[in-house]
Amino acid sequence: MRAISYARATDVAEAIAFVGADSRAEFIAGGTNVIDLMKDDVARPSTLVDITRLPLGGITPSATSIRIGALARMSEVADHPAIQANFPAVVQALNESASPQLRNMATIGGNVMQRTRCAYFRDTSQPCNKRAPGAGCAAIGGVNRMHSVIGTSPHCICAHASDLAVALLMADATIRTRGRNGERIIPIAEFYLLPGNTPQRETVLERGELIEAIEIPVSTAARRSVYLKVRDRRQYEFALVSVAAGLDIQGGTIRAARVVLGGVAPKPWRAAEVETQLIGKPANVQTFAAAAAYASAGMRGFGENDFKVPLVGRAVARALALAKDLA
């Protein structure tokens, strides 16, 4: 690992000003992602600004939403009774991420900022447009079993790594930030960028802009929600395909539906047409199967990940059935 300087922030404005003014400074909180990438020489900050002493933690429920401080640890959020009561998909997404030790370290703000697990991004001997713009993409035509089947560009086919972000998009969460231009409230649907011609840009955050909290609105659909993660191992593995699904069922009829996919795109991917197909229909397996057939529209594989395209529809149908069976 290259040498770094370290600064422990005692004030939010101080941390934002410092990182905002120094293009080689980065925030650090849980550290599980940035330290790993520094060891691989992928992340090369000159100064790390430790934000863990800032007052950005805590979980605060209100009548209409729950605010999660950016520094809340993944385990803390998953264990919180109000999160468990209102957002079961969020709890499942958290508990099926990483390992217990890492969930005790990693923060919610850091989780939504985590970098892709593409092996070429993490190997500095390989070309990667995200790490070194213009170098090329070794995953196209390479080992791409874990990669995306939609939302890709000729420059990058990586998959987004966060399980939590999939569940947060399902629940229509917003991300509250503070930067040198003040505060912003960003719907998570508008937070992530597709690779396009600039795969090095992954979110709309500006330099020095800090996530302060994530707010999740309470809803009937999110209360009846599940997170289904399909992967090569039962634990401690990233998703091949995942589905966050929430249903609002009144008298056997679907009033609202939320379906978001993970593991298939460079950002959490809303299956909007599936949602549309579910509205007003009876909540049964025939409805779920018919709607799920729309989930893979527009998807195509890159060889090793071709299996994801037929897998998506089956995972959606199963997730919807699991959501229906919730009390």
Partner 1 sequence: MFGKFSRRRFLVRAAIPTVAATFGTARLLPAAAAATVSRPNVRGPHPIAVTLDVNGTSHTLMLEPRVTLLDALRDRLSLFGTKKGCDQGTCGACTVLVDGTRIDSCLSLAIMNEDKAITTVEGLASGETLHPVQQAFLDHDGFQCGYCTPGQICSTIGLLNEKRPTDEASVRTWMSGNICRCGAYPNIVAAVRSAAGAAS
Q: Which is nearer to partner 1, 41 or 232 (CB)?
A: 41
Interacting residues of 265 by C-beta distance below 8 A, sequence separation 6+: 148, 149, 150, 151, 152, 159, 160, 194
Any alpha helices (H) in the chain, and if so which ranges? 12-21, 34-39, 74-78, 81-86, 88-95, 100-105, 108-112, 163-170, 220-223, 272-278, 285-292, 308-324
Q: One-letter amino acid identity for 102?
A: L
Beta strands 225-230 and 210-217 are unpaired
Strands (E), the chain: 5-8, 25-28, 47-50, 59-61, 65-69, 174-179, 182-187, 210-217, 225-230, 241-250, 253-262, 269-270
Q: Which is nearer to partner 1, 24 or 300 (CB)?
A: 24
Q: Which is nearer to partner 1, 95 or 287 (CB)?
A: 95
DSSP-based three-state secondary structure for 320: helix
Q: Which is nearer to partner 1, 39 or 300 (CB)?
A: 39
- Give the C-alpha separation, 229 to 227, whole Å: 6
Q: Least CB distance from residue 72 to partner 1, whole Å?
A: 14
- Give the C-alpha separation, 210 to 51, whole Å: 10
Q: Which is nearer to partner 1, 55 or 310 (CB)?
A: 55
Q: Least CB distance from residue 288 to partner 1, whole Å?
A: 27
Q: Which is nearer to partner 1, 145 or 201 (CB)?
A: 201
Q: Which is nearer to partner 1, 76 or 172 (CB)?
A: 76
Q: Which is nearer to partner 1, 34 or 315 (CB)?
A: 34
Q: Which of 160, 219, 228 is nearest to 192 (CA)?
A: 160
CB atoms closer than 10 angstroms to residue 6: 9
Interacting residues of 3 by C-beta distance below 8 A, sequence separation 6+: none
Q: Least CB distance from residue 289 to partner 1, whole Å?
A: 30
Q: Least CB distance from residue 44 to partner 1, whole Å?
A: 5
**Tokens 């790993």 identify what position?**
36
Q: Least CB distance from residue 179 to partner 1, whole Å?
A: 8
- Contacts with partner 1, residue ranges (CB under 8 A): 1-11, 13-15, 17-21, 23-24, 26, 28, 31-32, 34-36, 38-39, 41-45, 47-50, 52, 75, 79, 98-102, 104-105, 124-125, 130-132, 179-181, 200-201, 203, 205-209, 234-236
Going by the DSSP 8-state scheme, the letter that residue 12 receives in this structure is H
Q: Which is nearer to partner 1, 123 or 273 (CB)?
A: 123
Q: Least CB distance from residue 213 to partner 1, whole Å?
A: 19
List the structure tokens of 292: 């799920």
Q: Least CB distance from residue 162 to partner 1, whole Å?
A: 16
Q: Least CB distance from residue 5 to partner 1, whole Å?
A: 4
- Give the C-alpha separation, 286 to 281, whole Å: 10
Q: Least CB distance from residue 198 to partner 1, whole Å?
A: 10
List the structure tokens of 274: 């599936």
